[in-house]
């Protein structure tokens, strides 16, 4: 089986590269923005023609939520128009598509976890561009898995987890918002879920929510990172309700994962357990290098 991964140098792409080391029987084609620009149909068409992948995992995206407010055209180019090209090519070449989307398609006004059939109403440009990307997939092909996830973090790239670790090591003062409730998700867990989905070659196509379980504010998330790193006494961590930003974010974006759990027979780890596990792994790696 041949699996194309687009956006392979981003955080989810890197987690897939890491987790794929323990899979067998799959040939992976990891392509970055440099080697395969998904906004270029001239690049995509011959690529699909030559490689005929069985699956495409689309990790390529415009993910800078703040910058998207001033860069709407590019956000929609990458998160929607390019996804339309990908979906059309997947249909032509009978490639199954795993497309990753976001909790930011919701407006955050619900008081209980969002299910896949809930209405969507993004409140920022990034969320709107990702929602249009979902529409492109479902309008242009059938053999797709759209996986909505939330608050991804990992040891790779620019994310909230790495920002807090860096600020913690600098002994910086941190003001972290309690205004939003969601679920931090270890991108390695999502990568494992995607690889299992592909290995099972399931035909239970459709839209799924996948994040870790439980719920947290960004402040809860930062606090646990600092506690586990035993930096809580070194850093002044303050909870603040308001942390002004350009983009609005949903106040509540916890998602219900029971559809994915039931159909794929999987037990999803709690965000706390997964965060502690990742910090242990990172510390062990550092220990081995010293
Ligand atoms: N990060 C998060 O908290 C969340 C992310 N998601 C979704 O998960 C997916 C993966 O996100 P994540 O790995 O965190 O994001 P990253 O920003 O870490 O990675 C995105 C990757 O896409 C690449 N890319 C951008 N434009 C193009 C292009 N035109 N052609 C090919 N590649 C391109 C980037 O390359 P380069 O850097 O070279 O531009 C980068 O490597 C995305 O769909 C995102 O919307 C959903 C919920 C939460
Ligand atoms: C750095 C920082 C952020 N914040 C706030 C700002 C914001 O309200 C919240 C989260 O900040 P960030 O900008 O790191 O996260 P943000 O870019 O909003 O993260 C989102 O990314 C996209 C790609 C998604 O799809 C979402 O699921 C979500 O993960 O924390 C603080 O309160 N204090 C701080 O020191």
Question: Residue 49: which CATH number?
Answer: 3.40.50.720
| Domain-located, residue 97 | yes
* 5-15: burial string, b at 16+ Cβ within 10 Å, e else: bbbbbbbbbbb
| Domain-located, residue 179 | no
Does residue 215 contact residue 251 with C-beta atoms inside 8 Å?
no
Q: How many angstroms separate the alpha carbon of residue 151 from the centre of ligand 2?
A: 8
Of the chain, the end-to-end C-alpha distance in Å amounts to 39
How confident is the prediction along the chain (290 residues), in pLDDT tens digits per residue? 999 999 999 999 999 999 999 999 999 999 999 999 999 999 999 999 999 999 999 999 999 999 999 999 999 999 999 999 999 999 999 999 999 999 999 999 999 999 999 999 999 999 999 999 999 999 999 999 999 999 999 999 999 999 999 988 887 799 999 999 999 999 999 999 999 999 999 999 999 999 999 999 999 999 999 999 988 888 899 999 999 999 999 999 999 999 999 999 999 999 999 999 999 998 877 655 55
* 42-65: burial string, b at 16+ Cβ within 10 Å, e else: eebeebbeebebbbbbbbbbbbeb
Does residue 100 contact residue 61 with C-beta atoms inside 8 Å?
yes
Q: What 3-state class would DSSP assign to 275?
A: helix
Tokens, residue 125: 């440009």
Q: Which domain holds residue 193?
A: 2-158+184-213+255-269
| Domain-located, residue 170 | no
Q: How many angstroms separate the alpha carbon of residue 12 from the centre of ligand 1?
A: 8
Does residue 175 contact residue 240 with C-beta atoms inside 8 Å?
yes
Q: How many domains does the chain have?
A: 1
| Domain-located, residue 28 | yes
Pairing mode, if any, of strands 27-30 and 55-58?
Answer: unpaired
User: Which pLDDT belongs to residue 285?
Assistant: 73
Give the list of residues 6+ apart from residue 37 with CB closer than 8 angstroms, or none.
43
Name residues contacting ligand 1 (CB within 6 A). 6-7, 9-13, 33, 37-39, 59-63, 78, 82, 100, 102, 130, 149-152, 157, 159
| Domain-located, residue 41 | yes
Q: For residues 136 and 86, what is the distance between their CA atoms, to the nearest angstrom?
A: 9
Beta strands in the chain (DSSP E): 2-6, 27-30, 55-58, 96-102, 144-149, 152-153, 173-177, 181-182, 185-186, 206-209, 216-217, 236-240
| Domain-located, residue 174 | no
User: Which pLDDT belongs to residue 289?
Assistant: 55
User: Which pLDDT belongs to residue 282?
Assistant: 87
Q: Closest Cα partner for 79 from 6, 4, 145, 151?
A: 6
**Is 126 one of the annotated active-site residues of the chain?**
yes
User: Which pLDDT belongs to residue 234?
Assistant: 84
Ligand closest to the CA atom of residue 172: 2
* 233-254: burial string, b at 16+ Cβ within 10 Å, e else: eebebeeeeeeeeebbbbebbb
| Domain-located, residue 140 | yes
| Domain-located, residue 18 | yes
Give the list of residues 6+ apart from residue 212 with CB closer than 8 angstroms, or none.
183, 184, 185, 186, 189, 268, 269, 270, 271, 274
Tokens, residue 249: 């974010």
Q: For residues 199 and 196, what is the distance between their CA atoms, to the nearest angstrom?
A: 5
Q: How many angstroms separate the alpha carbon of residue 219 from the centre of ligand 2?
A: 11
């Amino acid at each position: 089986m041949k699996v194309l991964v687009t956006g392979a140098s981003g955080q989810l792409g890197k987690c897939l590269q890491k987790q794929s080391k323990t899979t067998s029987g799959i040939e992976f084609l990891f392509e970055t923005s440099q080697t395969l620009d998904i906004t270029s149909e001239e690049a995509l068409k011959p690529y699909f023609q030559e490689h005929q992948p069985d699956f495409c995992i689309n990790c390529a995206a415009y993910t800078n939520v703040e910058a998207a407010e001033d860069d709407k055209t590019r956000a929609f180019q990458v998160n929607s128009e390019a996804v339309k090209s990908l979906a059309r090519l997947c249909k032509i070449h009978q490639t199954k598509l795993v497309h990753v989307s976001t909790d930011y398609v919701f407006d955050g006004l619900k008081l209980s976890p969002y299910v896949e059939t809930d209405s969507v109403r993004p409140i920022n440009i990034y969320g709107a561009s990702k929602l249009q990307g979902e529409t492109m997939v479902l309008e242009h092909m059938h053999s797709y898995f759209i996986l909505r996830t939330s608050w991804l973090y990992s040891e790779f790239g620019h994310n909230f987890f790495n920002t807090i670790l860096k600020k913690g090591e600098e002994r910086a003062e941190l003001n972290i918002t309690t205004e939003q409730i969601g679920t931090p998700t270890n991108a390695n867990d999502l990568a494992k879920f995607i690889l299992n989905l592909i290995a099972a070659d399931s035909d239970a196509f459709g839209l799924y929510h996948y994040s870790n379980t439980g719920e947290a504010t960004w402040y809860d998330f930062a606090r646990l990172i600092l506690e586990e790193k035993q930096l809580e006494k070194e850093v002044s961590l303050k909870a603040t309700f308001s942390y002004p930003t350009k983009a609005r974010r949903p106040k509540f974006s916890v998602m219900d994962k029971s559809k994915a759990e039931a159909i794929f027979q999987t037990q999803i780890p709690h965000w706390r357990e997964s965060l502690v596990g990742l910090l242990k792994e990172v510390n062990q790696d550092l220990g081995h290098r010293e």
